[in-house]
């Protein structure tokens, strides 16, 4: 039976409402400041959350259930809308063209993290976990930066999305494997989890490719509000079911978006975009809210070392992925800058480690510092990638021109 709170007996804590309202106002002001100076708002949200979560007298309690749920909905929406941007055929074609850069991306960006995990003495579990943190770029931050800087139609955006899709698909078997390693689950149970993840991804891709013009009956003739509720509800339900099955909720939301194409996808994107802006802002701020800066001094140097190495390897990945598109050095610089930020999946990995208790708290501090730094400088690098690329193309060359043989 549904129980309604009596008048004068609020169902939620008034302090929680006050804190959440103040948080939204502050994020709104930060978004205006970012827009005023032509920056993406993502680093402003991150730093704002860091200040609100650690400054004396300004703390916002993010340890309850409300703000984490809103942040999780932000992740779901970010990945859902990323899936709505592309059809299954486009995803498969992009993945085929970018399989070489995708393999380079996996090796070049996971090995530094794995090596650092072994150097700290965290064993195989630490190497696998930290390798995943440094490997996976933030699809959420990339999609937000592309929107903020109006880069959706840029020539390098397609190859970047291809790399992101490959990374998101790698997460499907990776997360169950990590869970098995951290929890000590038996070999049979681990193989079942990985097998289920691979089967779900394969089925969705086959349906998306072979029935790209198919529209489920539930969407036919749906008015815009009803369509919004159904699409968002399906994504949230799929994310919940995926979590129960030890599958990534973010990947599940992405796959739901991938199944929807044509007019349905276009209407859903248009209707969900404002909600995405709101929930994504909370998600990015949540990074900072739950980060304890008191642990940073002990891990700051290793985190900075990882940032320098893996930002360089992401630029190399972007350079390789966009080598065949128009735009020259400018497009390649923009591609590398877009891939530099780590975000939602890296935090999910750190969360799995924290819950397991297998690795020391130093791991969570290192992962948090690494994510905060890369998620902050990634959008800033994107802002300045274009002038740097233009300067590189226009610089006077001292070497004589080489003739290419026909």
Work out the number of other CB atoms within 10 angstroms of the CB of residue 350.
Answer: 23
**For residue 383, what pLDDT is reported?**
81
**For residue 127, what pLDDT is reported?**
95
- pTM of the predicted structure, to 2 decimals: 0.77
Q: Which two tokens stand for residue 229?
A: 């509720």
Nearest-5° Cα angle at 225, 222 to 229: 90
Q: What is the pLDDT of residues 352-387, one digit of tens each?
A: 787 778 888 889 889 888 988 998 888 888 888 776
**For residue 222, what pLDDT is reported?**
60
**For residue 405, what pLDDT is reported?**
39
Q: CA-to-CA distance for 335 and 28, rounded, in angstroms?
A: 28
**For residue 219, what pLDDT is reported?**
64
Q: Which two tokens stand for residue 125?
A: 């579990």
**For residue 185, what pLDDT is reported?**
62
**For residue 404, what pLDDT is reported?**
42
**For residue 35, what pLDDT is reported?**
80
CA dist 184 → 117, 125, 189, 199 (Å): 19, 10, 10, 23
Local structure of 156: helix, strand or coil:
coil
**For residue 14, what pLDDT is reported?**
77
Q: Which two tokens stand for residue 39?
A: 């920056």
**For residue 291, what pLDDT is reported?**
74
Domain 25-55+64-389 adopts which CATH fold?
Answer: Na+/H+ antiporter like fold (1.20.1530)
**What angle do the packed helices 66-84 and 157-183 form, to 10 degrees?**
130
**For residue 19, what pLDDT is reported?**
81
Q: CA-to-CA distance for 70 and 281, rounded, in angstroms?
A: 10
Work out the number of other CB atoms within 10 angstroms of the CB of residue 263.
Answer: 11
**For residue 401, what pLDDT is reported?**
46
Q: CA-to-CA distance for 16 and 61, rounded, in angstroms?
A: 8
Q: Which two tokens stand for residue 269?
A: 């994107």
**C-alpha count within 13 angstroms, C-beta hemisphere, residue 15:** 5
**What angle do the packed helices 296-321 and 328-339 form, to 10 degrees?**
140
With a cut of 70, which residues of the chain have pLDDT below it?
Answer: 1-12, 57-65, 94, 184-194, 197, 205, 208-222, 246, 327, 387-406
């Amino acid at each position: 039976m549904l129980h309604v709170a009596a008048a004068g007996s609020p169902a939620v804590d008034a302090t929680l409402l006050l804190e959440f309202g103040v948080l939204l106002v502050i994020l709104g002001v930060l978004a205006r400041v970012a827009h005023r100076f032509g920056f993406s708002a993502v680093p402003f949200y991150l730093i704002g959350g860091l200040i609100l979560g650690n400054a004396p007298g300004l703390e916002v309690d993010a340890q309850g259930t409300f703000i984490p749920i809103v942040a999780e909905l932000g992740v779901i929406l970010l990945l859902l809308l990323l899936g709505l941007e592309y059809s299954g055929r486009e995803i498969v074609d992009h993945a085929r063209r970018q399989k070489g850069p995708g393999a380079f991306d996996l090796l070049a960006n996971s090995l530094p993290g794995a090596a650092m995990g072994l150097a700290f003495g965290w064993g195989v579990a630490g190497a696998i976990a930290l390798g995943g943190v440094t490997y996976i770029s933030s699809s959420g931050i990339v999609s937000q930066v592309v929107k903020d800087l109006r880069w959706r139609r840029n020539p390098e955006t397609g190859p970047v999305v291809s790399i992101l899709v490959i990374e998101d698909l790698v997460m499907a078997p990776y997360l169950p494997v990590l869970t098995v390693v951290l929890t000590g689950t038996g070999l049979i149970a681990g193989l079942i989890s990985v097998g289920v993840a691979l089967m779900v991804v394969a089925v969705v891709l086959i349906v998306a490719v072979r029935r790209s013009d198919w529209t489920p009956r539930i969407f036919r003739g749906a008015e815009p509000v009803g369509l919004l509720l159904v699409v968002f509800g399906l994504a949230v339900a799929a994310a919940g079911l995926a979590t129960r099955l030890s599958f990534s909720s973010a990947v599940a939301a992405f796959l739901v978006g991938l199944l929807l194409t044509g007019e349905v996808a276009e209407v859903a994107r248009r209707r969900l975009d404002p909600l995405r802006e709101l929930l994504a802002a909370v998600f990015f701020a949540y990074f900072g809210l739950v980060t304890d800066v008191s642990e940073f001094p002990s891990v700051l140097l290793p985190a900075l070392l990882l940032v320098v190495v893996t930002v360089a390897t992401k630029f190399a990945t972007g350079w390789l992925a966009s080598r065949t598109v128009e735009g020259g050095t400018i497009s390649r610089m923009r591609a590398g800058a877009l891939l530099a930020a780590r975000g939602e999946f890296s935090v999910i990995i750190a969360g799995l480690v924290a819950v397991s208790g297998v690795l020391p708290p130093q791991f969570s501090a290192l992962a948090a510092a690494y994510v905060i730094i890369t998620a902050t400088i990634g959008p800033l690098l994107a802002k300045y990638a274009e002038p740097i690329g233009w300067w590189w193309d226009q610089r006077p060359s001292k070497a004589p021109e080489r003739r290419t043989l026909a």
